[in-house]
Amino acid sequence: MVVSCFLDLASNLSWQYQSQIPLVDLSKPDSRHIIVKACEEFGFFKVVNHGVPLESISELESEALSFFSLPMSEKEKVGPADPFGYGSKGIGPSGDVGSVEYLLLKTDHSFNFQKLPQTTEKFPSAVKDYVWAVRKMACEILELMADGLKIQQRNALSKLLMDKQSDSVFRLNHYPPCTELEEASGHGGEGSRIGFGEHTDPQIISVLRSNNTSGLQISTRDGTWISVPPDHTSFFINVGDSLQVMTNGRFRSVKHRVLANSSRPRVSMIYFGGPPLSEKIIPLPSLLAKGKEESLYKEFTWFEYKRSAYSSRLSDNRLELFKRVAASS
């Protein structure tokens, strides 16, 4: 039953409430139905039995921690992020900041790893193996989505990630512990700080994995923030803005954020699956009810949307500019 496939989530904090985060077991035959339901209601779900080797996960996490523990002078040799490379606190070109440092990489392996310090010489192979396995899982999930939506062309979505021109990126985030939060909490002050501000992801799908440190929160339809319990052996999937458009609003891109932790560092790895820059982002024809339903969005390419999204603030409703204006009666 679908109800048994949801993970109960509770909190003692007054601003949170009992809710459910969808849990998808990729080894189960009914996973496609749960994925569709999760994308419609949350735009977010947890994945187990995902097939990504734990050795690949642990090796990359180890390499990432080694890199982020280097002196700032060494890390800055891989920056500044423009947009690829090492960055700290600044998020994008529009003035957003957070308690985070990061490494943003292309997934076509064109990033110049030779700029990385010699202490991380295993980094390139660790990234390559991890991204290959996670992209394979992402494509499997997109094909299960197509099955659940009864789309005849099963690879209608996954082929965009497999395309040689796919504009996918990979990001490693490191949120250092904030000792001042612990001190503030001990003195009755506010015990949270934004590590990465609220936003949706512009791509098709995002595949997130982190260590066992909490911090990730998602927003429900009514605007309530829910904390996501960490699980270093599982993955979390975000519906992106592009997928919302391609399903004509049936799936919703999830607004999410990360709160800094007072005592433990948080490391997250995110694969952002994007289409080729020239790809038109439009609703899949089979989802427009045989011509009876009109697109809710203007036609645009991924390049046009990406340019618009990255020139906006994190918290902006980026899709609003691309919605069709209903004709006045």
Residues annotated catalytic, as ranges: 266
- Name the pairing type of β-strands 194-199 and 256-259: antiparallel
Peptide linkage before 80 cis (omega within 30 of 0): yes
H or E segment and range at residue 70: none
* Residue showing tokens 């080797």: 53
Measure the CA–CA gap between 45 and 52, rounded to whole angstroms. 17
Nearest Cα neighbor of 227 from 257, 206, 251 is 257
Check if the beta carbon of residue 147 is closer than 8 Å to that of residue 154: yes
Question: What residues does 272 pair with on adjacent strands?
Answer: 169, 206
Nearest to 269 by CA among 98, 42, 68: 68
Distance CA 39, CA 45 (A): 8
Say if residues 22 and 226 touch (Cβ distance below 8 Å).
no
> Measured between alpha carbons, how far is 8 from 14 in angstroms, rounded to an integer?
17
What is the three-class DSSP state of 258?
Answer: strand
Distance, CA of 105 to CA of 116 (rounded, Å)? 12
Angle among Cα 320, 323, 326 to the nearest 5 degrees reads 125
